Amino acid sequence: MRLLAACFLFVGAACSPETTQLEPDFTIEASQRVSGSNFLTPETVAQQNDDFENPGYLWVERGADLFEQGEPSCAGCHENGLEGVATHYPAFDTGTQTLINLEGRINLCRTRHQGLTSLPYESDELLSLTAFVAEQSRGLPISVEVTPQTQSAFESGANYFMTRRGQLNLACTQCHDDNWGKQLRGDTISQGHGNGFPAYRFEWEDFGSLHRRLHDCDTGVRAAPMELGSQTYIDLEFYLAVRASGLELESPGIRR
């Protein structure tokens, strides 16, 4: 059923190649879309919103220090900060002709403009810089659209979301489109938006990227997870960002 819906969506997209902006259809209507923080206890929401109590700010603060380092430093170019920038990622990079996420953009800046090496995915440094940039868009609506250049990435991400996988034979959509709001053991199933990431997860007792979360989802349904930073996960991140557009960016979020 969902797979069919996804296919129609692609056909619809392919029918109008002249438009630069495509309007995908999602199972959850825009008016029904809610952040993962709606499924947290009031105590946890309060902790997320308090920029001292929120442990994610340990990484934001380190990111602020790293932003000043290098020759030139990040701050040397981005002297007016990067407010709003994170709301538009993942985005198409014309230089490499690929879809990249915020982590990828930071690494491209390092190799292209700073004469530095790429930071390993999920390293504390990359997480900290990503958190520092994302935090500057805290409270702003996610705004990611499908364009002809990113259409195939969107389709690939949608396909991943709709495909059953793992020993539990579950697709993302079965929980996060069809059954959100219902109880699963002690949890309430969320809509599966990535607007809190990078985020501090209690279960990790640590700060991590959306890809680490996706890796855990795949592992949770007993499927072979993808590499963090892989194009498959970037495409899925893109699909999720289009799907979450309009929701406020909450990074550094706190999640269960």
Partner 1 sequence: MTTIRLSVPQTADRGEIIELRAMIQHEMESGFRFGSRGEMIPQDIITKFECFYNGTLFFSSDFHPGVAANPILKFYARANESGSFEFVWTDQDGQSWSDSAQIEVS
Partner 2 sequence: MIPRVAAATEDEMNEAIRGMFGDRVITEGRVNVDLPPIAENGFSVPIDISVDSPMTEDDYVKQIVVLSPRNPLPVLAQYHLTPMSGRADVSARIRLGGTQSIRVIAEMNDGTLWSGAKQTLVTLAACVID
Shortest CB 93 distance to partner 2, Å? 32
Nearest to 156 by CA among 57, 240, 65, 216: 240
In Å, how far are 68, 148, 238, 239, 245 from 152, measured between CA atoms? 37, 8, 11, 11, 19
Task: Supply the minimum distance, in Å, between the C-beta of residue 29 and partner 2.
Answer: 24
43 interacts with partner 1 by CB under 8 A: no
Q: Bridge-partner residues for 73, per DSSP? A: 70
Size of the site for partner 2 (CB under 8 A): 18
Phi, psi of 214 (to 5 degrees): -65, -40
Query: Helix, strand, coil: what percent of the chain each, to 5?
Result: 45, 10, 45
Instruction: Check binding of 52 to partner 1 (CB under 8 A).
Output: yes
Residue owning tokens 């029918």: 15
Verify binding: residue 124, partner 1, rule CB under 8 A.
Answer: yes
Which helix (H) or strand (E) is 1 found in, with range?
none
Residues 158-217 contacting partner 2, CB under 8 A = 184-187, 189, 202-203, 205, 216-217
Between 52 and 183, whose beta carbon lies closer to partner 1? 52
Q: How far is the CB of 218 from partner 2 (least distance, A)?
A: 10
Q: What is the DSSP letter of 33?
A: -
C-beta of 83 vs 206, nearer to partner 1: 206
Least Cα distance to 172 among 157, 188, 154 occurs for: 157
Whichever of 198 and 225 has its CB closer to partner 2, that residue is 225
Q: Which of 55, 141, 148, 166 binds partner 1 (CB under 8 A)?
A: 55
Binding to partner 1 (CB under 8 A): which residues in 201-240? Answer: 205-206
Q: Is 57 in the site for partner 1 (CB under 8 A)?
A: yes
Annotated active-site positions, please? Answer: 217
